[in-house]
Structure 1
């Protein structure tokens, strides 16, 4: 029996979800465009965070395309109302859907972590960021293993009549989703301590917390998705998958937009100079009891154009507590081997 195709807008709820996800993916595309425009305005070079966010965006396009195709082959129809070939295709697509989703999320996480490495220079923070990268990598590996090992033989994923066994997909999806949530929270919490140590106006500090705190909104979406996955009935997947499919596209689209928000200030400043231009204050970090081979003072952050001062917490080279140094506006090599301070992605002056 040949595959039968359906009107993707047959059901209002499917139509609304497709439109909503299309809008979210379009917004994330605009966010990436503004991200690269900001790079151009500052004349700053592209780096691995940009590469990773583009990779995440490409996979998100794939997610949206499959969402539309799910609607074409019978999503929101009961399994008894569609041809068997449609059902088999839906289950086969689920395998690809998972791979693309996990790629979306991991690339978005790694992009954010590369962004952190670009602007924070303290050895402790950089080590923590790399540990989080390792956690993101472990999340991806575990996700791939779950996809290919949950059913033995593998073909039992789409043919339940074959001899063998499958573990509970609801439990597997929820477990992987929980690990996804944990890594999100770790990544969003990383800069909290460093921002707290910066001496700046309360308004600026709150603005920084808001920028980095947007990721916790993505965590809320992740929680919703985990709950939805527990309600999917795999014996009637075409009918019950609708909300899982929706949130699985919405989550990476929002994560990409969130990862681009910290880069957008130069664009808004160029578009609305009266709003975003201000005086040229200088901020410094608090000299606290921080470990380091050469002392406990931190380098001063000089914000020459009132950009968000997200750099440069690094132990001073003199060893004297409380001494401050001017932050270099030169680019820093990203392997940590250069002696120059990095230009702040958000805090650099326009050239």
Structure 2
């Protein structure tokens, strides 16, 4: 997750005789904080509602919370922390042009921490769904889920490391005027784009696996199997959101990146985890409302 874009090239200081050629600064600069706040809190509220209903559904049927539930709750906590930090950053000027932010270093640091929590939220929400699939799969499908679980977490973890350690000294991340060295921008951007693409692809792969797992079962009607597999495949939208981040990552690292690009990237990062939480909660909620998922002959679908 990118933080604030690098400051745009400063306007050269011209002699007083040429001062009229220097473009005047807008006394009322654009501020996209409202757009960010509305978007992320709609996503946060929606994910909170569905996660609450998921837990309620399990409690209603006297089901204990398992590892997938705990990872999902932890992901939600990280998502909420990130949203709080993003909103706090907007009070410091996040959402405006860098030249209009009074305390740019603090704003960068807060947005950096907010982005880091989004990385954790994304990793743990995907882990939750993968653990659910591990409980209902076997054979090559189970091995594939393990591969996706491990490789995705490693890729996202490295993204978190790169976010925190691209510069030496570390403080140069938010105090850009400090002397030091940083990783090449093309490397950081390229790896983040790779993670977004790989994560999106794995989201879609996991979302399609229920069709392979559930469809051969004969204990439900065709209509019921369609309902179960469709509800378990909604994670495909999280994958599409991850793909959308690729364009946002490209735009946010351009030399003269507009602040609205950063807003879109943060919103997409929030949406990725929020959509996953919602998608993973819907199958459990559906089962609770319909009451049709029963432990039949050790059926793995009883975990829903």
- Identify the TM-score tier after normalising by the shorter chain: 0.7 to 0.9
Secondary structure at 1:135 match in 2: helix
Q: TM-score, normalised by structure 1?
A: 0.69
- Does the CA-based 8 Å contact 1:188-1:213 persist in structure 2? yes
Q: What's the Cα RMSD here?
A: 2.6
Distance 1:268 1:196, change over 3 A: closer
Q: Which residue of 1 aligns with 2:273?
A: 252
1:206 aligns to what SS in structure 2? helix
- Note if contact 2:82-2:115 (Cα within 8 Å) is conserved in structure 1: no
Q: Deviation string for 1:313-332 (max 9, x for gaps)?
A: xxxxxxxxxxxxx604xxxx
- Report the Cα offset of residue 68 of structure 1: 0.6
The yes-or-no answer on 1:243 pairing with 2:300 is: no
- Taking the aligned partners of 2:277 and 2:99, their CA distance within structure 1 comes to 38
Match of 2:146 in 1: 130
TM-score, normalization by structure 2: 0.79
- The answer to whether residue 202 in structure 2 is matched with residue 186 in structure 1 is no
Which residue of structure 1 aligns with residue 134 of structure 2? Answer: 117
Aligned equivalent of 2:58, options 25, 39, 43: 39
Long gaps (5+) in structure 2:
1-28
CA distance in 2, matches of 1:183, 1:211: 18
Moved more, 215-224 or 128-137: 128-137
Q: Is residue 21 of structure 1 aligned with residue 7 of structure 2? A: no
1:215–1:255 Cα contact (<8 Å) kept: yes
Q: Which residue of 1 aligns with 2:229?
A: 209
> Larger RCO: Structure 1 or Structure 2 (Cα < 8 Å, ≥ 6 residues apart)?
2
> Is residue 263 of structure 1 aligned with residue 284 of structure 2?
yes
Q: Aligned equivalents of 1:21 and 1:91: distance in 2?
A: 18
For the pair shown, which has the larger CA radius of gyration, 1 or 2? 1
Q: Which residue of 2 aligns with 1:156?
A: 172
Say if 1:12 and 1:228 are closer, same or farther in 2 by CA, change over 3 A.
same
TM-superposed CA distance for 1:107, in Å, is 0.7
* Structure 1 CA distance for aligned equivalents of residues 277 and 75 of structure 2: 7
Structure 1 match to 2:16:
none
- The SS at the match of 1:191 is helix
Q: Size of the alignment, in residue pairs?
A: 271
Post-superposition shift, 1:211? 1.1
Kindly state the Cα deviation for residue 266 of structure 1 after the two structures are TM-superposed. 4.5
CA distance in 2, matches of 1:11, 1:23: 22
Q: Contact 1:151 / 1:167 at 8 angstroms: preserved in 2?
A: no
Q: Which residue of 1 aligns with 2:156?
A: 140
